[in-house]
Amino acid sequence: MTKDQLIKLREDIIHNEIEPKKAGEIVYLNKIKSWHTTEWKKKRSTLLKESCEQCGSKEILTIQHTWHPRDYGIIKRDICGKYGQLINEKYTVEDLINEKEVENYFNININQQEKEICIKCGSVNISARKTLSPKYRCNHCKELFEAPVKKLLPIFIDDRKQEILQEMNVVTYSELSWKIYKEKCKELLFKEYGEQIEKETIITVIDESLRYISLADTVTFCKKCAFIWDKKGMNICPICKTRYKKICNRTCYECKEL
Ligand SMILES: [Zn+2]
Ligand SMILES: [Zn+2]
Ligand SMILES: [Zn+2]
């Protein structure tokens, strides 16, 4: 797609003349072509300098992008995060969750199994001894006993009303209500802002594509500098101006102390 087509599509999305999903398909189906338009090639030739902006070499020069558009998925995740925040501010856990739901969730989703526990403290951390009597020893409270208690675990505890003991195998009200809350918020996010999210995502995709084809974030590099940037993620150290360093580092290793 050309710059003008992208701008037109962007306008159409804003004015609801095209569904965001449909617009997304158009952008992604035509993406490859956009970097080869004559408009782009012309601009590229005017930007190309006489030597590599990094090392000064005049051999095989190329336009190097120093910034790349993000993937659709990453942009969408960002925008979902922004609206997710709004949902969290709008609804509290208490707004969305009631006690009965939490109990039901426990009964349906938590798989209880019969376990042997200490008769005194309820810990599952007990050992059966081969020769000594009494046969069992609790590794947590050190209680000795002949036979452990059998109990279905984990148990459900409403930690707003009841204290949890350290060694108990429990699922708490807070844990479950928070889990259900997050699930409900996710549903509400797409119910309330789904369309807005799609729209903003594809507009951002277009904006980033436009920035990319504008060649605003580019430099003239020689083939070697371009290769090292793309394949190794390295550029030249600003201090010694000879050694390459990781782009995220300020200087090369040797110039670090200077
Ligand atoms: Zn160079
Ligand atoms: Zn015990
Ligand atoms: Zn250096």
**Per-domain residue ranges of the chain:** 3-90+194-233, 93-184
Euclidean distance between CA atoms 150 and 232, whole angstroms: 60
CA of 112 to the centre of ligand 2 (A): 21
- Ligand closest to Cα of 258 equals 3
CA of 121 to the centre of ligand 2 (A): 4
Euclidean distance between CA atoms 77 and 28, whole angstroms: 18
**The pLDDT value given to residue 35:** 59
CA of 167 to the centre of ligand 2 (A): 8
CA of 182 to the centre of ligand 1 (A): 50
- Ligand closest to Cα of 244 equals 3
Q: Dump the DSSP string for 25-52.
A: HHHHHSHHHHTT-HHHHHHHHHH--SS-
With contact defined as beta carbons under 8 Å apart, do 238 and 251 qualify? yes
Digits of tens for pLDDT over the chain (258 positions)? Answer: 888 899 999 999 999 999 999 999 998 887 655 556 777 788 888 999 999 999 999 999 999 999 989 999 999 999 999 999 999 999 999 999 999 999 999 999 999 999 999 999 888 999 999 999 999 999 999 999 999 999 999 989 999 998 877 667 889 999 999 999 999 999 999 999 999 999 999 999 999 999 988 889 999 999 999 999 999 999 999 999 999 999 999 999 999 876
